[in-house]
Chain A
Amino acid sequence: MAQKSPAKNKKAAPRSPLALWEKGPGGRLLTNDAGCHAWVEEKDFRRVIAGGLGAKDPLLKRLSAGGFVRERMDFDGLADRWRTLNAHLGQGPGLHILVLTLRCNHKCLYCQSSAAGEGAKKTDMDLKTALKSVDFAFSSPNPAITIEFQGGEPLLNWNVLKAAVKRARQKAASSGKELKLALVSNFSLMTEEKARFLLAHEVSICTSLDGPAGLHNNNRIFAGGNSHAATVRWIKYFQEKYKKQAPEYRVFKPGALLTVSKHSLPRHREIIDEYARLGLEDIFVRPLAPIGYARELWGKIGYTPEEFSAFYGRCLDYIISLNRRGVVLREKMASMMLEKILNATEPGYLDARCPCGAAIGQIAYNHNGDLYTCDEGRMVGWEGDDIFRVGNVFRDSLRKIVSSPAARACVVASNLEAQPECSRCAYKPFCGVCPVYNYEAQGSLWGNMRSNGRCSLSKGVFGAIFARLKRPADRKILESWVAKK
């Protein structure tokens, strides 16, 4: 970033820099609204914050580059960084989650989607609702639309899924919008015929993989057989297809998500080794949230934020060590945060942005056409509290949805500039709060961050990432995860 020369008016007192800080071992991490960061030792901190860096100060060049010297701020450069870091502010809802059914043939211990049994067909989205939902998604002002098919198990409503996929492709062609289609499935009902259809229509595939068979099957109970075996079988299938590609359409790499339960905590190496063994290049170490079924079973499957943070740190270290040995594997949460920290780019992760994506970034379409701020908000609705319902796909326009009281309340409550803890936090440029979590765990959309488990957990994750960024050898590997190609 071009630096401006110091102010000519020598009478002006030094001004404190625009900075937030977090105390760490041996010093402080500084950040600013533009997402720049720098470490200073404790002995230098007071001088830096007082704006007392002279022309020959060894810290001047480094801190000026990050916008931490008041007299040398590149306003254009900082504003540009702020803009790209917060690019989501200029876009409408991009992610549209179609919950095709609440039926599921698994009974995962931590299920947050409030899945119903296979026989509960009244929770299937009908064709009319699905097509209307697709059309509704395309009414978003966002030039890029992602439609994600979820459930329950969406393959249980296969015909409607197929119709929705075809409709979406037609709409994309006629509207000129960029379209991504994604399926989140446990793979137990996947067949060759279904796979061919999904591949031909460029639907990217994602599943859950909780580790080696024993751990995975313990978490994800499948009465019809071995959940892990089905998952692995189809991961390999789609990987083969990816390697071969096809002239008529693009094939995407299959993805897998890890949900961390209490049972996962002592087994980080086995879990990561399983991902590496299968050639998966990304592992998303996702924490549980006390929403849906998970809340009822929290005593059996939950953990403290400190326990998760420690687990996350162990995972990150192990993944970095595998990288050193030539294994291609990235931790997804870290990758997304590194996009923000190193590249000042918005990665499209709706759970960590300001304001959160509730209705303005994503919409969840329930099987009956009701629309919710997000999938978690839909789960709260399933439990009997419709506070996060923003409208209905047949009765309401997008404008009405986005300006509904629930949407506006979530936007205001998740604005980090209005949160006492967040507004001061060094991780603010990269973080976000979840009004649904706050409501479920603490009884209000605002929550109370000082005793908020999600906040503690997020701080633990950021602490782990920044600690490794401080080590040159680890930093090199982390930078490679988000290097611009």
Chain B
Amino acid sequence: MMKQQNIKELVFETAVYSKEAVDLAAYVFSGRCGVKVLPGRSGARVRLTGGDGLDGLAGELANEALNQQCRIDLAKKNSKLAGMIVTKALLSACGGKNPGIRGGK
């Protein structure tokens, strides 16, 4: 591996990581180091620039991309269920029609 000073690049293959997941991960890490998402042949290239600890940050960014991808995967399956809960919670808090649920403190 040719290590150029303070620069590291990761390639996230499109077959495994969606662009949305990579973009979100890049955004989360944008406060910790320089992060740029560039187009690549097989997938999105993420270039990190910064000081010490860039190896660790790259690893954590890869984990974050996976975290975001798993969340996207879950949303495809669970969106109806998740939506019911959020809708009910927000509607009730606004004082929307309450079909009579009581309880709690």
Is A91's CB under 8 angstroms from B82's CB? no
**Contact status A84-B103, CB under 8 Å:** yes
Instruction: Give the residue of B78, B81, B86, B101 whose beta carbon is less than 8 angstroms from that of A355.
Output: B86
Q: Tell me, yes or no, whether B38 is within 8 Å of chain A by CB.
A: no
Chain A residue nearest to B70 (CB atoms) is A420
CA distance A411 to B81 in the complex (A): 14
> Is B85 an interface position by the 8 A CB rule?
yes
Query: By the criterion CB–CB under 8 Å, are A360 and B71 in contact?
Result: no
What distance in Å separates the Cβ of B80 from its nearest Cβ neighbour in chain A?
10
Q: Identify B105's interface contact among A94, A355, A411, CB under 8 A.
A: A94
* New contact pairs (4) apart from A411-B90, A418-B78, A419-B74, CB-CB < 8 Å: A87-B101, A87-B103, A359-B93, A419-B71
Residue from B68, B71, B100, B104 with most neighbouring chain A CB atoms (10 Å): B104
- Contact (A415, B86) CB under 8 Å given A91-B104, A347-B105, A444-B28: yes
Question: 1/0 contact trace for A14-42 toward B, CB 8 Å?
Answer: 00000000000000000000000000000
Which of B67, B92, B101 contacts A450 (CB under 8 A)? B67
Say whether B86 contacts A90, CB under 8 Å. no
Q: In the complex the two chains form, is B88's CB within 8 Å of A90's CB?
A: yes
- Per-residue interface assignment for chain A, residues 42 to 57, with 1 indicating a CB less than 8 Å from any chain B CB and 0 otherwise: 0000000000000000
Contact B95 A355 (CB under 8 A): no
Contacting residue for B71 out of A89, A144, A418, CB 8 A: A418
Instruction: Tell me the bound Cα distance from A418 to B67 in angstroms.
Output: 12
Distance of A415 Cα from B78 Cα, bound (Å): 11
The answer to the question of A92 belonging to the interface, with a C-beta cut-off of 8 Å to chain B, is yes
A384 CB to nearest chain B CB (Å): 14
The answer on a CB contact under 8 Å between B67 and A417 is: no
Instruction: Give Cα A347 to B104, complex, Å.
Output: 6
Tell which of B29, B74, B101 touches A420, judged by Cβ atoms closer than 8 Å: B74
Interface of A is mostly: loop
Given the known inter-chain contacts A345-B103, A448-B63, please indicate yes or no for A415 contacting B31, CB distance below 8 A. Answer: no
Q: Please state if A141 and B103 are interface contacts (CB–CB under 8 Å).
A: no
Q: Which of B29, B63, B67 has the most CB of A within 10 A?
A: B67
Chain B interface size, under 10 / 10 to 19 / 20 to 34 / 35 or more: 35 or more
Q: Does any Cβ of A come within 8 Å of B7's Cβ?
A: no
Kindly state the separation between the CA atoms of A412 and B71 in the bound complex, as whole angstroms.
Answer: 12
Contact among A418, A444, A448 with B74 in the assembled complex (CB-CB below 8 Å): A418
Q: Is the CB of B70 within 8 A of A89?
A: no
Inter-chain contacts of B104 with A (CB < 8 A): 87-88, 91, 345-348
Interface size on A, residues (CB 8 A): 44
Asked if B89 and A87 make an inter-chain contact with CB atoms under 8 angstroms apart, the answer reads no
Instruction: From known contacts A84-B103, A418-B74, A420-B67, infer whether A92 and B85 are also in contact, taking CB-CB under 8 Å.
Output: no
Among the 9-residue stretches A246-254, A264-272, A396-404, the one with 4 or more Cβ atoms under 8 Å from chain B is A396-404
Give chain A residues whose Cβ lies under 8 Å from the Cβ of B15.
none
The answer to the question of A67 belonging to the interface, with a C-beta cut-off of 8 Å to chain B, is no
| B64 within 8 Å of A (CB atoms) | yes
The verdict on A423 contacting chain B, using a C-beta distance below 8 Å, is yes
Give the distance in Å from the alpha carbon of A347 to the alpha carbon of B103 in the complex.
10
The verdict on A169 contacting chain B, using a C-beta distance below 8 Å, is: no
For the complex, give the distance between the alpha carbons of A444 and B73 in Å.
18
Q: Which residues of A contact B75 (CB under 8 A)?
A: 418
Q: B94 an interface residue at 8 Å Cβ cutoff?
A: yes
Instruction: Tell me if A451 counts as interface (CB < 8 A to partner B).
Output: yes
CB neighbours (8 Å) of B24 from chain A are 444
B102 within 8 A of A: yes
Q: How far is the CB of A158 from chain B (nearest CB, A)?
A: 28
